[in-house]
């Protein structure tokens, strides 16, 4: 059996992509809906400066991340996948959020896997170090960077990432579909 190395982003990928919206609407006195979120940079969506958003995020990041809800079937699928493959959580979150991230993963019964909080959206070096076979991501720009470096990327569909797909990027709509694709890739590697 072939063991794949699967890197998984956290925010918007295993979490609901809009878990921050209610608190941000309240704090900034906005009334945005999920369908209004057409780009990844939250401060732009909210129509505030990056500095204003960073102040809000610094104050509430732990609460925001702890209150996040998981995407449907994400935990179940990753439990199944982790029985046969290596999983790594690779996030742009700041390293200072490690404790809250690990508590959240445990709270929602996600399988154990190494957690890497990079503090940057540049995930290429970590993907190389981990010999990543598949990277599951929600940020379009990350997907493009990773695909250019030869990584196979499953881009989980969100209103803010609906841009033309590049070679090596495959749009997926839910965790059940991700499971099916990983099983296909596993079979392809066994045949090769």
Cα torsion 32, 34, 39, 42 to 10°: value is 50
Residue 164 CA to residue 142 CA, distance in Å, equals: 14
Q: Which pLDDT value is given to residue 190?
A: 81
Closest CA to 52 of 28, 29, 79: 28
Residue 167 CA to residue 152 CA, distance in Å, equals: 9
pLDDT in tens, 164-189: 999 999 999 999 999 999 999 998 88
Residue 51's Cβ-count burial label (10 Å; 0-12, 13-18, 19+) is: exposed
pLDDT in tens, 123-133: 999 999 999 99
Contact 2, 189 (CB under 8 A): yes
Q: Which residues pair with 70 in a beta bridge?
A: 15
Order of strands, edge to edge, in the sheet holding 114-117? 114-117, 86-91, 5-8, 134-137, 152-156, 169-172
Give the torsion sign (CA, 89, 91, 94, 99). negative
pLDDT at 121 over 90: yes
Residue 168 CA to residue 74 CA, distance in Å, equals: 22
pLDDT in tens, 77-118: 999 999 999 999 999 999 999 999 999 999 999 999 999 999
Other CB atoms closer than 10 Å to residue 173's CB: what's the count? 9
As a whole-number percent, the residues of the chain with pLDDT over 90 amount to: 95
pTM: 0.96
pLDDT in tens, 40-65: 999 999 999 999 999 999 999 999 99
Average pLDDT value for residue range 23-27: 97
Residue 24 CA from chain centroid, whole number: 20
pLDDT at 192 over 80: no
Mean pLDDT taken over the chain:
96
Residue 35's Cβ-count burial label (10 Å; 0-12, 13-18, 19+) is: exposed
Q: Where are the beta strands (DSSP E) in 128-179?
A: 134-137, 152-156, 169-172
pLDDT at 1 over 90: no
Closest CA to 18 of 43, 35, 4: 35
């Amino acid at each position: 059996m072939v063991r794949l190395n699967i890197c998984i982003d956290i925010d918007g990928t295993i979490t609901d992509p809009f878990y921050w919206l209610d608190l941000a609407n309240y704090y900034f006195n906005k009334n945005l809906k999920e369908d209004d979120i057409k780009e990844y940079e939250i401060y732009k969506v909210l129509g505030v400066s990056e500095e204003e958003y960073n102040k809000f995020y610094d104050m509430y990041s732990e609460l925001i991340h702890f209150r996040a809800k998981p995407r449907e079937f994400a935990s179940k699928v990753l439990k199944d996948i982790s029985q046969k493959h290596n999983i790594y959580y690779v996030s742009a979150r700041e390293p200072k959020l490690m404790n809250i991230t690990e508590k959240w993963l445990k709270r929602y019964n996600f399988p154990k896997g190494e957690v890497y909080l990079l503090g940057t959206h540049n995930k290429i070096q970590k993907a190389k170090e981990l010999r990543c076979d598949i990277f599951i991501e929600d940020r379009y720009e990350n997907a493009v960077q990773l695909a250019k470096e030869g990584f196979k990327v499953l881009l989980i569909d969100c209103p803010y990432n609906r841009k033309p797909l590049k070679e090596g990027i495959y749009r997926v709509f839910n965790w059940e579909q991700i499971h099916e694709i990983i099983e296909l890739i596993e079979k392809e590697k066994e045949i090769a």
